[in-house]
Amino acid sequence: MSETITSRLSGFHKLPVADRLGTVSRMMRLSNDEVLALGSGLSTEMANQMIENAIGTFSLPLGLGLNLQVNGRDYIVPMAVEEPSVIAAVSFAAKIVREGGGFQAEADDPIMIGQVQITSYGDPTEASRKLVAHKEQLLALANSFHPAMLARGGGARDLEVRLLPAPEGVRGEPILVLHLYIDTQEAMGANLINTMCEGIAPLVEQITGGRVFLRILSNLADRRLARASCRIPVGQLADFDMPGESIAEGIVQASRFAQADPYRAATHNKGVMNGIDAVAIATGQDWRSIEAGAHAFACRDGQYRPLSTWSLEEGHLVGRIELPLALGTVGGPIKVHPQVQTALKVLRVSSARELSMVMAAVGLSQNFAAVRALGSIGIQRGHMALHARSVAVTAGARGHMVEKVANALVSANQVKVEKAKELLASFMSELPAGT
């Protein structure tokens, strides 16, 4: 779908669910089956084909992040998440960013890493030399296991030999590892990588005279990074009866805190991943792999640090994010799960690389919303207002009573289940008999 759309859907959040679905269906030209898929989800029969010992399916709310503009293009972003305020935060932050020019993003080629662990190899220098000398033979063998990938321009491109200190200390044998660098094209590539690593293992043993144990991909995909940035005029940040300069300073101080302290960085990055995981789940990605890679990347220099940073530059608040994103538009549940297929159609990305740029921008948008609140009025006021609906439902409210109880909770500044039950009982007692 190449025609231009806008992600600025004013008043969308006020519409009934059916009207929201109708709006998106018309914009994206969804078929009846695609519309039904968004509401019905995965069948038990399909679930039984996907996993072992299936007994049913488990649903998450699916919503849309709005206002996102990346590299001058608008995206309506499907997000599967149970936590209130995540989608609202992304949409609100993206609206502010687009007024400053939107997000700029880029992503590396889809190079993944396969690891082959070698032991009992004798002299480490000689074993390393032999592996490098047989580089072309090893790459050719790896590519022989996936000729179709090679024909599409992907496949094993390079290798590297790493010698790691023994965990037992100087008396232990250093760990010899062969890294295979593989272009996985539109796939995340786990099965492809593992097949290649297992396939070359006998030749690696023959070359080194050693023994191979582990042969598997690495989820630290640091050759496959995505980056996004934004520039927001400081004056545009004014809110909460505070000048833009004060809010910008609070955001920068929050960033400095995360850069210095791993305890803060962990929570900072959790906020980033709130947005990224929600898009990953909606689009059928391996979100556990994404999480593992992101957090490993965050401590690449020996200390756990934030994935995103904020600074003041020439009257602008500048945000930047960089992290590994091993994504796919083929493979896994993508062609099997009906909601995933529809979500990708709504998102309108043409490649895994484009998807990673959008996802990085979503992560930065979510982080901006969080640190903007944290550095000014605190995070609870906005979050608890949205959380109030969940509390009302937990207390037993249904239908129009949900909003009524939620609004009363916020007005009373007591977003608690017991208070919600008290309010619900009071409202119900006011209803005419028989209603």
Q: CATH number, domain at 197?
A: 3.30.70.420
- Is the pLDDT at 434 greater than 80? The verdict is no
Domain contains 301: yes
Task: Say if residues 226 and 290 touch (Cβ distance below 8 Å).
Answer: no
pLDDT at position 435:
58
What range does the domain containing 239 cover?
12-108+225-376
Please report whether residue 180 resides in a domain.
Answer: yes
* One domain for residues 117 and 170: yes
Q: How confident is the model at residue 1 (pLDDT cuts 50, 70, 90)?
A: very low
CB atoms within 10 A of CB 104: 16
Residues 108-155: tens digit of each pLDDT: 999 999 999 999 999 999 999 999 999 999 999 999 999 999 999 999
Any idea what the CATH number is for the domain that residue 409 is in? 1.10.8
Asked if 313 and 400 sit in the same domain, the reply is no
Whole-structure pTM value:
0.89
233, 92: one domain: yes
E strand spans, 134-280: 155-164, 175-183, 211-217, 225-233
Domain annotation covers residue 4? no
Please identify, among 376, 395, 419, the residue that sits at the C-terminal boundary of a domain: 376
Known catalytic residues? 83, 270, 286, 383
For residue 3, being part of any structural domain is answered with no
* Structural domain count, the chain: 3
Closest CA to 358 of 114, 106, 159: 106
How far is residue 167's CA from residue 272's CA, in Å, rounded to a whole number? Answer: 33
Whether 397 and 274 map to the same domain: the answer is no
Same domain, 206 and 268: no
CB neighbourhood size of 193 (10 A)? 27
Whether residue 407 sits in one domain with residue 286: no
Tell me whether residue 6 is in a domain: no
Cβ neighbours, 10 Å, residue 49: 9
In this prediction, residue 389 has a pLDDT band, given cuts at 50, 70 and 90, of: confident
The β-bridge partners of 319 are: 230, 310
* Arithmetic mean of pLDDT, 357-370: 98
Name the average pLDDT for the chain.
Answer: 94
pLDDT at 368 > cutoff 70: yes
Residue 331: the pLDDT is 84
CATH code for position 337: 3.90.770.10
Q: What is the pLDDT of residue 77?
A: 99
Report the number of secondary-structure helices (H) and strands (E) in the chain.
16, 10
322: amino acid identity, one letter = E
Answer yes or no: is 53 within a domain. yes
Whether residue 416 lies inside any domain: the answer is yes
- 136: in domain: yes
Burial class (CB in 10 A: 0-12, 13-18, 19+), 318: middle
Question: Is 371 a residue whose pLDDT tops 90?
Answer: yes
Report the pLDDT value the prediction gives residue 379, as an integer from 0 to 100.
59
- 173-230: per-residue pLDDT in tens? 999 999 999 999 999 999 999 999 999 999 999 999 999 999 999 999 999 999 999 9
Query: Among 217, 241, 268, which residue terminates a domain?
Result: 217
Q: Are residues 246 and 368 in the same domain?
A: yes
How many Cβ atoms are within 10 Å of 78's Cβ, its own excluded?
25
CA–CA separation, 257 and 316 (whole Å): 20
Span 338-348, pLDDT tens digits: 899 999 999 99
For 166, phi then psi, to 5°, come to -65, 135
- Give residue 385's pLDDT: 64
